[in-house]
């Protein structure tokens, strides 16, 4: 049976880039992979056909020979779908699918960088706004001093892994193809510890609680991170340590709410003060300030105190404090207070729109609405 044109198999043109050829092959390989099409015998044939085309068209020498002589120019190189091809498929599989399956080509493992760590730091709003110096107690894996991080008992050395021969990778046959994976015995290190250190048990690292002093810059907010370079876990086989990331979480405040560089607070105001006006003390992070309340102030009125907010950690102008007035309705009234309020209510009603413009306009709107329904 004559072979199909490789460009036709992958659905690409002769001038298609190597990256686009890889993308085209990936789509076909995912579509026709035998594991996904166990009930379709034709899928394996199409999968092999696409893989053979990919192998030729991504190899500059084979592609040049194929472009010039066709299949005859690469038959000896590619070996056809029946033979010679299996030995190279693991490289193709790792190259194309390594980012999906975590496989791919790998060499002998060496020193590995330690893991990064995350520490959640809760701060009061005052600490976040003004900055602070905080001490942390962090459990972390550090290099074992007994064996100097090697994992072997002092005076001994690790030996070459007998399963992978020191390569850190082994070849595993799966159906019609084979692929490489990390050696399970040495975990990719290429060596095994036959006489482990008595202190770390062969791991090369031990757990320790470190005390670290962290400078919290002014203006940080929930979600900000402080990076402490080299304060993460120790690396394997003498590798460099990871980093420690301090994740900021600001606790809720009983008075203020933060919105970026601005602060918000609700200010309760008595009914007489709202009606008559006056002066009110309001809190800020710098102390108390006096706020002038005009007569007739309504609930929801916002007063802005400029420069009483937060200095952003990344620079810029200081935010403001926005105070929202909440008029408080009196409760638990005495009989005398009720009598006074009833007299006040009568005089306010008598005043009509002059004393209650919003109420009067609202009731007029309701009346007009119902009149419109009946007309």
Looking at the fold, whether 97 and 116 belong to one and the same domain comes out as no
Domain end residue (candidates: 210, 225, 252): 252
> Which residues fall within 8 angstroms of residue 206, CB to CB, at 6 or more apart?
141, 142, 144, 199, 200
pLDDT at 235: 83
3-state percent breakdown (helix, strand, coil) of the chain, nearest 5 = 35, 25, 40
Q: Is 306 exposed, middle or buried (0-12, 13-18, 19+ CB in 10 A)?
A: exposed
Residue 1 lies inside a defined structural domain of this protein? no
pLDDT at 165: 84
Give the global pTM: 0.58
pLDDT at 107: 42
pLDDT at 83: 38
Number of domains the chain contains:
5
- Please give the DSSP secondary-structure letter assigned to residue 112: B
Looking at the fold, whether 85 and 47 belong to one and the same domain comes out as yes
Host domain of residue 354:
335-374
- Please give the DSSP secondary-structure letter assigned to residue 34: G
pLDDT digits (tens, 9 = 90+) for 313-354: 988 999 999 999 999 988 999 999 999 989 988 888 887 777
Looking at the fold, whether 171 and 236 belong to one and the same domain comes out as no
- Contact in structure between 26 and 94 (CB atoms under 8 Å): no
pLDDT digits (tens, 9 = 90+) for 233-253: 888 767 788 999 999 999 999
Q: Tokens in use for 158?
A: 């690790």
pLDDT at 110: 58
Looking at the fold, whether 90 and 141 belong to one and the same domain comes out as no
pLDDT at 91: 44
Looking at the fold, whether 112 and 236 belong to one and the same domain comes out as yes
Domain end residue (candidates: 205, 230, 252): 252
Here the CATH number for the domain that contains residue 166 is 2.10.230.10
pLDDT at 310: 96
pLDDT at 176: 59
Looking at the fold, whether 315 and 181 belong to one and the same domain comes out as no
pLDDT-flagged residues of the chain (< 70) = 1-2, 35, 38, 75-111, 173-178, 237, 359-360, 363, 375
Residue 113 lies inside a defined structural domain of this protein? yes
For residue 347, CA distances in Å to 212, 309, 351, 352, 356 come to 69, 43, 6, 9, 11
Looking at the fold, whether 91 and 134 belong to one and the same domain comes out as no
pLDDT at 104: 39
Looking at the fold, whether 112 and 213 belong to one and the same domain comes out as yes
Here the CATH number for the domain that contains residue 212 is 2.60.260.20
Looking at the fold, whether 168 and 152 belong to one and the same domain comes out as no
Q: Is 187 exposed, middle or buried (0-12, 13-18, 19+ CB in 10 A)?
A: middle
């Amino acid at each position: 049976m004559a072979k199909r044109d490789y460009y036709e198999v992958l659905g690409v043109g002769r001038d298609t880039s190597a990256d686009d050829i890889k993308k085209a092959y990936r789509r076909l390989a995912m579509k026709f992979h035998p594991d996904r099409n166990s009930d379709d015998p034709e899928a394996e044939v199409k999968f092999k056909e696409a893989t053979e085309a990919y192998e030729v068209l991504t190899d500059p020498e084979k592609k040049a020979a194929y472009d010039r002589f066709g299949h005859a120019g690469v038959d000896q190189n590619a070996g056809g779908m029946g033979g010679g091809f299996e030995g190279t498929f693991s490289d193709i599989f790792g190259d194309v699918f390594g980012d999906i399956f975590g496989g791919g080509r790998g060499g002998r493992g060496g020193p590995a960088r330690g893991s990064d760590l995350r520490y959640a730091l809760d701060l009061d709003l005052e600490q976040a706004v003004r900055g602070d110096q905080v001490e942390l107690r962090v459990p972390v894996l550090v290099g074992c001093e007994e064996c100097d991080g090697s994992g072997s008992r002092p005076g001994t050395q690790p030996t070459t892994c007998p399963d992978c021969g020191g390569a850190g990778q082994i070849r595993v046959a799966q159906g019609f193809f084979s692929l490489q994976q990390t050696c399970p015995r040495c975990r990719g290190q290429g060596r095994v510890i036959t006489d482990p250190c008595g202190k770390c048990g062969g791991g090369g690292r031990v757990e320790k609680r470190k005390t670290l002093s962290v400078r919290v810059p002014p203006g940080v907010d929930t979600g900000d991170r402080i990076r402490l370079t080299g304060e993460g876990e120790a690396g394997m086989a003498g590798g460099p340590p990871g980093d420690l990331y301090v994740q900021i979480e600001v606790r809720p405040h009983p008075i203020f709410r933060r919105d970026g560089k601005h602060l918000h607070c609700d200010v309760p105001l008595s009914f007489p003060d709202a009606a008559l006006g006056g002066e009110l003390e309001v809190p800020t992070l710098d102390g108390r300030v006096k706020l002038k309340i005009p007569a007739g102030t309504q609930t929801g009125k916002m007063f802005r105190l400029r420069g009483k907010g937060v200095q952003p950690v990344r620079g810029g102008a200081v935010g403001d404090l926005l105070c929202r007035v909440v008029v408080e309705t009196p409760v638990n009234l005495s009989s005398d207070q009720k009598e006074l309020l009833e007299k006040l209510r009568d005089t306010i009603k008598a005043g009509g729109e002059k004393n209650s413009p919003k109420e009067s306009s609202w009731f007029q709107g309701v009346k007009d609405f119902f009149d419109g329904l009946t007309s």
